[in-house]
Homo-oligomer: A and B are copies of this chain.
Amino acid sequence: MRNFDENNITEAVLERVQLAPSARMRDISTALVRHLHAFIREIEPTFEEWEAGIRFLTEVGKLCSDTRQEFILLSDTLGASMLVDAINHRLPKGATETTVLGPFYVENAPVRELGADISPGMAGEPLLVEGTVRAADGGPLPGAIVDVWHSDREGYYDVEHYDAGGEVAMRARFKADADGRFWFWTIVPNFYPIPHDGPVGRMIHAQGRHPYRPAHVHFMIAAPGFQTLVTHVFVEGDKYLDSDVVFGVKDSLVRKLERRSAAPVHGRRIDRDYAVLAYDFALAPAVVKQAVPA
């Protein structure tokens, strides 16, 4: 095979990948080549533009580190992450809706006792987060693992302060009690821009968009026999709910922050007014997963 031009190059590349030993790899390669070539045919990039694209992707890769994943940001801001999420969560009725994982999840967050304060000494309005975990088609799930993380009142996550000596905060894992209930203390999070000092930030800017996400608390909830739930609970009234830069907001995930007066609650004597964010989660039963290609 030779003499490739714009009329026959796509077929030539497709033919070349048909010998992939894995059928899944063959299907993915075939789709990748067809859609990549269709994109190029549609925009007809100049060399300078194609080189700019190569430089952009190179810079995205270079910026990735243990605490920053610029390619996830790219996937999130192009709506790709929410699409992958939707495709993988054709959920049964009654199950809590899902949203993106985002780039700030950290595995193996500290395990804390129910009622613990995960942001001790931090500036901000005190927040009690409470809720229950149950099966979408049944009763409570005692012992469910509730992994939570969120931003501070200025919109930063702990990992964004690690380089400056910051420690783990505003993140922890809890074990739901015998009734599937959990509760913990923290501070009210704020809206925030995704990290936008890199190539993805430049892209967003060039697309005429803002880089903000509305205030939310992340949840990853796991129980044996159920699909692990990855979602957020958003704070009602946030000005970015309708323009989340990563397209993650769903009405069913928005909750009002209830304000309560100082009083003893959940074993803690709280001496000033505080907010409460309550959500009851419903997990979908586990499904047999597709095999991952070799």
Contact = CB atoms under 8 A, between A and B. Distances in A.
A197 interface: no
Interface stretch (A70-78, A116-124, A171-179, A274-282): A70-78
Interface stretch (A61-69, A107-115, A155-163, A264-272): A61-69
A26 B42 CA distance: 13
Interface stretch (A132-140, A244-252, A255-263): A244-252
Per assembly, the copies of the chain total 2
Which of A9, A25, A60, A293: most chain B Cβ within 10 A? A9
Contacts of A52: 292
A86 B244 CA distance: 39
Contacts of A86: 4-6, 9
A33 B247 CA distance: 13
A19 interface: yes
A206 interface: yes
B29 A207 contact: yes
Given A36-B78, A69-B58, A31 B9 contact: no
Which 6 pairs, one residue from A and one from B, show the smallest C-beta to C-beta distance?
A61-B61, A19-B208, A13-B79, A6-B86, A2-B249, A35-B39
Given A12-B79, A206-B21, A250-B2, A58 B71 contact: yes
B9 A47 contact: no
A210 to B, nearest CB: 10
A82 interface: yes
A51 to B, nearest CB: 9
Contact of A75 (B3, B26, B54, B293): B54
Contacts of A62: 61-62, 64
B208 A21 contact: yes
Interface string A207-230: 111000000000000000000000
Contact of A16 (B47, B80, B88, B207): B207
Nearest to A293: B49
A6 B83 contact: yes
Contact of A83 (B9, B21, B88, B293): B9
Given A25-B206, A50-B75, 18 more contacts: A1-B242, A2-B242, A2-B244, A10-B79, A13-B78, A16-B243, A18-B208, A19-B207, A28-B43, A31-B39, A35-B39, A35-B42, A38-B38, A41-B83, A54-B71, A59-B61, A61-B62, A62-B62
B292 A49 contact: yes
Residue from A39, A42, A207 whose CB has the most chain B CB atoms within 10 Å: A207
A17 interface: yes
